[in-house]
Amino acid sequence: MTRLTYSSTEEFERDLKRLLKKFRSLKEDIAVAKAFAIELYHTQKINKQAIFPIPQFCTDEVLICKLKKFACKALKGRGVKSGIRIVYAFHVKSQLIEFIQIYFKGETENENKDRIKRYFSAKWS
């Protein structure tokens, strides 16, 4: 089985640091999401309806995806409907996952398209 490698943007790290104050289990929750959603989707092609490619930001080399079904232990009783979303880039050839944004739908309704555009243009310009 192919192993994915992970990294994150500085903006993602700032988002995470801010959200960790409110949702203390996030680092642990992200590790679970990597194993049971991201890895399964990209390495074994198992689609649990948790990950959604964002069509206008996908090419043959990279898929920008949003992880919607994200269980957060700090949000007890909500299961995968926690409202936490993660936007990341999957680099097909290198099998690299780069986290771009993490947000809570209670604070931010949708992904930051400008941030995704900046990420995209920085990588392919």
Spacing of C-alpha 45 from chain mean position: 17
pLDDT for the residue 30: 97
Task: Identify the CATH number of the domain in which residue 46 sits.
Answer: 3.30.2310.20
> pLDDT tens across 8-57, in order?
999 999 999 999 999 999 999 999 999 999 999 999 999 999 999 999 99
Report the side by side order of strands in the sheet with 5-8.
5-8, 96-104, 84-91, 62-67, 51-53
Q: Residue 32 is part of which domain span?
A: 5-123
Q: What is the pLDDT of residue 89?
A: 97
Output the pLDDT for position 1.
54
* Distances, alpha carbon 13 to alpha carbons 10, 25, 42, 100, in Å: 5, 15, 23, 9
Which residue's entry shows tokens 């999401």?
Answer: 33
Q: Please give the tally of structural domains in the chain.
A: 1
pTM of the model: 0.94
